[in-house]
Amino acid sequence: MDVKVRIAPSPTGNLHIGTARTALFNWLFARHHGGQFIVRIEDTDLERSKKEYETNIIDGLKWLGLDWDNEQLYRQTERLDIYRKYLQQLLDDGKAFWREYTAEEQDEMKREGRPARDRVIVLKDDGDPERAVAFDDIIRGTVSVQAKHIGQVVLAKDLDTPLYNFAVVIDDLDMAITHVIRGEDHISNTAKQLLIYNALKAMPPKFAHLPLILGVDRSKMSKRHGATNIADYQTDYLPDALVNFMAQLGYTYEPEIMNRQEMARQFDLERVHKSGAVFDQAKLNWMNAQYIKRMKPAAFKALIGKPELPDAAVPLMTERLERLGDVAQFVYLWKESEYESEILFWKDNDAAITIRALQACDELAKSGDLTKDALDRISVEQFDGKKGSVYWPLRVALSGERNSAGPLDIANVIGADSVRARIAKAISKLQS
Nearest Cα neighbor of 214 from 199, 206, 224, 201 is 224
Q: How do beta strands 213-214 and 277-278 pair?
A: parallel
pLDDT of residue 220: 78
Q: Are 345 and 426 contained in the same domain?
A: yes
Decide: 358 and 423 in contact? Cβ < 8 Å. yes
**Predicted confidence (pLDDT) per residue in 192-212, tens digit:** 999 999 999 999 999 999 999
Q: How many domains does the chain have?
A: 3
Q: Are 319 and 346 contained in the same domain?
A: no
Answer yes or no: is 363 within a domain: yes
pLDDT of residue 225: 57
Q: How far apart are CA 283 and CA 419, in angstroms?
A: 38
Q: Are 404 and 386 contained in the same domain?
A: yes
Answer yes or no: is 26 within a domain: no
pLDDT of residue 184: 95
Checking if the pLDDT of 105 tops 80, the result is: no
- pLDDT over 70, % of the chain: 99
pLDDT of residue 149: 86
Out of 277, 307, 333, pick the residue that ends a domain.
333
Answer yes or no: is 54 within a domain: no
Q: What are the residues whose beta carbons fall under 8 Å from the beta carbon of 105, sequence distance 6 or more?
A: none
Query: What residue numbers bound the domain in which 393 lies?
Result: 341-431
Checking if the pLDDT of 339 tops 80, the result is: yes
Q: Which residue type occupies 31?
A: R
Q: Are 390 and 326 contained in the same domain?
A: no
Checking if the pLDDT of 394 tops 90, the result is: yes
Decide: 395 and 404 in contact? Cβ < 8 Å. yes
pTM: 0.91
| pLDDT top residue among 207 and 152 | 207
Q: Are 301 and 359 contained in the same domain?
A: no
Answer yes or no: is 112 within a domain: no
Out of 280, 315, 333, pick the residue that ends a domain.
333
Q: Are 302 and 282 contained in the same domain?
A: no
Q: What angle do CA 413, 419, 423 make, to 5 degrees?
A: 145
pLDDT of residue 40: 96
Report residue 91's pLDDT band, with 50, 70 and 90 as the boundaries.
Answer: very high
Q: Are 312 and 259 contained in the same domain?
A: no
pLDDT of residue 183: 95
Q: How far apart are CA 118 and CA 101, in angstroms?
A: 5
Q: Are 363 and 383 contained in the same domain?
A: yes
Least confident of 68-77, 257-266, 356-365, 404-413: 68-77
CATH number at residue 357: 1.10.10.350
Decide: 36 and 5 in contact? Cβ < 8 Å. yes
Answer yes or no: is 176 within a domain: no
**Predicted confidence (pLDDT) per residue in 13-64, tens digit:** 999 999 999 999 999 999 999 999 999 999 988 889 999 999 999 999 999 9
Answer yes or no: is 346 within a domain: yes
Out of 293, 322, 353, pick the residue that ends a domain.
293
pLDDT of residue 340: 96
Average pLDDT over residues 335-364: 96
Q: Are 351 and 386 contained in the same domain?
A: yes
CATH number at residue 230: 1.10.1160.10
Q: Are 417 and 369 contained in the same domain?
A: yes
Answer yes or no: is 79 within a domain: no
Checking if the pLDDT of 72 tops 90, the result is: no
- pLDDT over 90, % of the chain: 86
Q: Are 266 and 231 contained in the same domain?
A: yes
Q: Are 254 and 240 contained in the same domain?
A: yes
**Predicted confidence (pLDDT) per residue in 211-226, tens digit:** 999 988 877 776 565 6
Report residue 227's pLDDT band, with 50, 70 and 90 as the boundaries.
Answer: low
Answer yes or no: is 377 within a domain: yes
Average pLDDT over residues 406-414: 97
